[in-house]
């Protein structure tokens, strides 16, 4: 059994075709036939034949990337890329926390490798195996800001990129009782404490571009959780 076939067996919900206009093809013979034709087509054009690979195309300690063979609504077929975190396959919950203390909202000034730039954002993490979303939220606050949570309120879930990622993330509002120092190993160089109006200005001006931060703020705002943090 290939790695891809084991995923289909162990996580069938990720491959369901119920109510799906893009039907995932799982028959090995049908996949092999399409791959042979596609590889010949790519080779003739001087393009990488690996673009026709179907199954697990990247598996590292954090990310699992798949290319499924999909039949589109018009009957044509093609490879379709998606990725998920290993942690989610193990039942772990990714978490995002909007933290406040003494009527101010806590933002991290953090470097992100993917963009090669610094960002203002709220704490977040993949989650830890064996912990509930709430427990993972408390752990992230402890690890990233050496803080303790006095009150924790769940704001629901989100998908950060429905076009590429299958990861579901849990959102929280947290009232902190204490905060320590930034975790330098996580490339957090400083904290920034802002009132609600300043947070909204940072989002409005585009100084905050992180989707997790914007979504956590939006949920908290629409649920009337942070209205009094003026």
What tens digit of pLDDT does each residue of 7-37 get?
999 999 899 999 999 999 999 999 999 999 9
pLDDT tens column, 142-192? 999 999 999 999 999 999 889 998 888 999 999 999 999 998 888 999 999
Instruction: Characterize the bridge pairing of strands 55-59 and 63-71.
Output: antiparallel
| Domains, the chain | 3-86 (no CATH), 94-222 (3.90.79.10)
Lookup result for tokens 């999909």? 70
In sequence order, which residues have a C-beta less than 8 Å from that of residue 118 and are 6 or more positions away? 109, 110, 111, 112, 189
pTM for this structure?
Answer: 0.90
Q: Across residues 129-136, what is the average pLDDT? A: 88
């Amino acid at each position: 059994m290939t790695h891809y076939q084991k995923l289909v067996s162990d996580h069938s919900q990720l491959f369901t075709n119920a109510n799906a206009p893009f039907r995932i093809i799982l028959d090995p013979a049908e996949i092999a036939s399409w791959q042979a034709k596609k590889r010949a087509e790519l080779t003739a054009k001087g393009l990488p034949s690996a673009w026709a690979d179907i199954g697990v195309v990247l598996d590292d300690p954090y990310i699992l990337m798949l290319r499924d063979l999909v039949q589109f609504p018009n009957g044509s077929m093609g490879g379709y890329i998606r990725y998920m975190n290993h942690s989610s396959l193990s039942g772990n919950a990714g978490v995002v926390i909007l933290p406040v203390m003494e009527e101010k909202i806590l933002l991290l000034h953090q470097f992100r490798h993917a963009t090669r730039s610094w960002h203002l954002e709220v704490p977040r993490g993949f989650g830890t195996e064996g912990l509930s979303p709430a427990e993972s939220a408390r752990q992230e606050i402890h690890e990233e800001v050496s803080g303790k949570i006095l009150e924790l309120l769940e704001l629901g879930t989100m998908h950060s990129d429905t076009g590429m990622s299958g990861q579901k993330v849990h959102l929280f509002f947290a009232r902190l009782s204490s905060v320590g120092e930034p975790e330098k190993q996580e490339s957090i160089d400083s904290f920034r404490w802002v009132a609600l109006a300043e947070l909204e200005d940072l989002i409005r001006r585009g100084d905050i571009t992180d989707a997790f931060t914007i979504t956590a703020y939006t949920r908290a705002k629409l649920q009337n959780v942070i209205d009094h943090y003026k």
